[in-house]
Amino acid sequence: MDLLGGFAAGFLIALVTTPVGVSGAVFLLPVQLSLLHVPNPAVTPTNLLFNVVSGPGALLRYRHNGQFTGTLVRLLLVGTLPGVVLGACVRVFVVPGPGAFRVIAGLVLLPLGLWLTVRALRPKAPDRPPPAPRTIIGLGLAAGTVGGVYGIGGGSLLGPVLAGRGTPMTRIAPAALAATFVTSVAGALTYGLLALTTNGDVAPQWTLGLVCGAGGLTGGFLGARLQPHIPETALRLLLGILAAALAVFYLIS
């Protein structure tokens, strides 16, 4: 796949995933591993670079829509920021190989995806009470750590959990993407510092990350523009299917 293909991949992935609060990096990662042959652990900072470049398009559109309300973004950032720094250190020094990632990501995403899909198909089932602030911070810490390890932003983990707990998708999507963007900046800086003191492929693949991010910038803006016109049940179902499908891919690959 050439750079034009990378741009197209970033565009299409962001177009589909932005309405449900997922940056798309979680789906770009298998493209990097399987088709672009990006070495480990450079695949993670490359994904974070994609998030940094692609994020502003969707965030600007959500801001224009007036969807940044409440404290959800701030609570998520309190947890995700320290988590992504911790995750970057774990990635470089503990789990540099892709095998552990595929198993862990699959085992986390599969039950979340199935859970949300079932709840979306049973819209009359009552939602659980929205999580307490302390719970949101804890979720942010866990998602930030996983995002720092694997460069997936954390939205793919936060979205299904928050949606299953009753938080509307119109709040989840902008908050999860904002947390992903800020933590990706912090994670990319952390990897940059580690690259100065650590041997191996720790630095991102700059050209690839920027080109894919440019595609994601455009696709994310359009996805955010479409989101208010998509029914809540359809958004939850889409998020659940995406999470479960990715989990299956990782577990069988």
Boundaries of every domain in the chain: 3-252
Q: What integer pLDDT is reported at residue 129 of this predicted model?
A: 66
Please list, in sequence order, all residues whose beta carbon lies within 8 angstroms of the beta carbon of residue 111, skipping any fewer than 6 positions away: none
Q: What is the mean pLDDT of the chain?
A: 80
* Identity at 10, one-letter amino acid code: G
Question: pLDDT of 157-167, one tens digit each?
Answer: 777 778 777 77
Q: 227 — phi, psi (to 5°)?
A: -55, -45
Q: Is the peptide bond before 41 cis (omega within 30 degrees of 0)?
A: yes
3-state class (DSSP) for residue 174 = helix
Question: pLDDT of 120-170, one tens digit each?
Answer: 787 655 556 667 888 888 888 888 887 777 666 666 677 777 877 777 888
Burial 187-202 (b: 16+ CB within 10 A, else e): bbbbbeebbeeeeebb
Torsion of CA 100, 140, 83, 253, to 10 degrees: 10
125 φ/ψ sector (left φ>0, alpha ψ -120 to 50, else beta):
beta
